[in-house]
């Protein structure tokens, strides 16, 4: 197993007013992996990243990032990290090129080194033709690329991205995924937060599913999906007592492992998908229910989240 570059023990943040945004988090992120924190808004993902990047003071517990205790030695910890925050924090008084150049200088590069690193980064992130532009003229996707370029300019051991693709158009999202994939191939350790399950599924080596400041499950996306104990999920929309329908289907459909009601829809988890839809309809109608809609999917990280929390990932 590779070395751990982030470890937290009992990391907790209670905001004034009593909100426990993060509650006793124990986490270990390994060198070179893309680690995802997946959860709905308000799950504590951003607060977690805030604590790991010195901008939120933990109420309890400890966090060691790149071998440095972030609470005891924040200035040293900042040398080891690169951060892409949720909002555009580019320096509006500077051009695209100058944003990178001065970032390099803040991190101790000489003028010559920083100039060279800036030129290379602009090429790599396909921003060279915008070098002299003001940052406010950049599109959302370009601004995000520039923020990633800036965050890795000083070669941090760990790159943090907080909801990196929120608000990006699909094309820019794919472009960013590609960039993150390249960085990963170069051995860059990345911790990202997201509430898009596809993003976590596609990009991450390991995913921690968070809700209410706690980690509910942590594993590779494949293992998480296997943990549901089913290879097929059938969504049944029907009229009448849905809880009754759920128990009926769980008991009477062959291969069903369990069934829940989520947001007015019965979800039946099954092993073996052959001919499953007629069996579900027959069982439901045999119990006197009128099925109005039916769909079939494979388990996703969203399914995992639902089976853990009984609620939808979107809001």
Partner 1 sequence: MTAIRSASFTAFRAQLLRDAFVLRKTLRAFMLRTVMQPALTVFVFAYVFPRIGQGIGGDGGRGASDFSTLLVPGVMATACIFQGIQAVALPMVQEFGFTREIDDRVLAPLPVWAVAVEKMLAGALQGVLAALVVFPLAAVIPATDVHLSLHWPLMLTIIPLGTLLGAGLGMAIGTTVESRQVPLVFSVIVIPMTFLGAVYYPWERLEPIAWLKWAVLVNPLMYMSEGFRASLTKGIPHMGLPYIYAAMIGYTVLLGWLGIRGFRRRVIQ
Residue 140 touching partner 1 (CB under 8 A):
no
Token pair of 122, please? 């602009």
| Number of chain residues interacting with partner 1 (CB under 8 A) | 32
Residue among 52 and 197 whose Cβ is closer to partner 1: 52
Which one among 75, 278, 292, 293 touches partner 1, defined by CB under 8 A?
75
Nearest CA to 25 among 54, 71, 73, 61? 61
Residue from 75, 57, 53 nearest 6 by CA:
53
Q: Mark 227-266 with x for binding to partner 1 (rule: CB under 8 A) and - for no binding.
A: ----------------------------------------
Residue 170: burial class (beta carbons within 10 Å; 0-12, 13-18, 19+): exposed
Stretch that binds partner 1, among 92-100, 173-181, 222-230, 275-283 (CB under 8 A): 92-100
By CB under 8 A, residue 76 contacts partner 1: yes
Bridge partner residues of 259 (DSSP) = 268
Q: Is 79 in the site for partner 1 (CB under 8 A)?
A: yes
Q: Are 282 and 275 in contact (CB under 8 A)?
A: no
Nearer to partner 1, 15 or 181 (CB): 15
d(CA 297, CA 83): 36
122 Cβ contact list (under 8 Å, min separation 6):
96, 97, 100, 128, 130, 131, 149
Contacting partner 1 within 35-64 (CB under 8 A)? 50, 53-57
Question: By rule CB under 8 A, what string of x and - marks binding of each residue 7-36 to partner 1?
Answer: --------x---------------------
Using CB under 8 A, pick the residue from 60, 69, 106, 272 that binds partner 1. Answer: 106
Among 78, 130, 206, 225, binds partner 1 (CB under 8 A): 78
CA 235/CA 41 separation, integer angstroms: 24
Is 90 a binder of partner 1 (CB under 8 A)?
yes
What is the distance between the alpha carbons of residues 26 and 36, in angstroms, rounded to a whole number? 14
Site for partner 1, residues 171 to 200, rule: CB under 8 A = none
Residues 164, 172: contact at Cβ < 8 Å? no
| 313, 305 contact by CB (below 8 A) | yes
Q: Which is nearer to partner 1, 50 or 221 (CB)?
A: 50
């Amino acid at each position: 197993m590779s070395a751990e570059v982030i470890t937290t023990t009992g990391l907790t943040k209670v905001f004034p007013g009593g909100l426990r945004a993060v509650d006793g988090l124990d986490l270990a992120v390994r060198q070179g992996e893309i680690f995802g924190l997946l959860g709905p808004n308000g799950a504590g993902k951003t607060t977690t990243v805030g604590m790991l990047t010195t901008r939120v003071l933990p109420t309890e517990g400890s966090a060691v990032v790149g071998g440095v205790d972030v609470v005891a030695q924040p200035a040293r910890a900042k040398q080891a990290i690169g951060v892409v925050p949720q909002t555009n924090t580019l320096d509006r008084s500077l051009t695209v090129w100058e944003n990178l150049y001065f970032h390099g200088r803040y991190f101790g590069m000489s003028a010559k080194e920083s100039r060279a690193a800036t030129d290379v980064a602009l090429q790599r992130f396909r921003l060279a033709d915008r070098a002299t532009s003001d940052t406010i003229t950049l599109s959302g996707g370009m601004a995000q690329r520039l923020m990633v370029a800036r965050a890795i300019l000083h070669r941090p051991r760990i790159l943090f991205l907080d909801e990196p693709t929120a608000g990006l158009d699909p094309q820019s999202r794919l472009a960013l995924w590609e960039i993150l994939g390249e960085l990963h191939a170069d051995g860059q350790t990345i911790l990202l937060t997201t509430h898009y399950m596809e993003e976590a599924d596609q990009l991450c080596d390991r995913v921690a599913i968070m809700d209410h400041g706690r980690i509910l499950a942590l594993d590779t996306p494949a293992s998480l999906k296997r943990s549901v104990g089913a290879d097929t999920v059938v969504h049944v929309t029907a009229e009448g007592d849905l809880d009754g329908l759920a128990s009926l289907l769980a008991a009477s459909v062959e291969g069903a492992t369990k069934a829940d009601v989520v947001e007015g829809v019965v979800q039946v988890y099954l092993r073996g998908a052959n001919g499953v839809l007629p069996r579900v309809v027959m069982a439901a109608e045999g119990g006197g229910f009128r099925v109005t809609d039916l769909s079939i999917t494979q388990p996703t990280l969203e399914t995992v989240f639902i089976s853990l929390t009984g609620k939808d990932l979107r809001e």
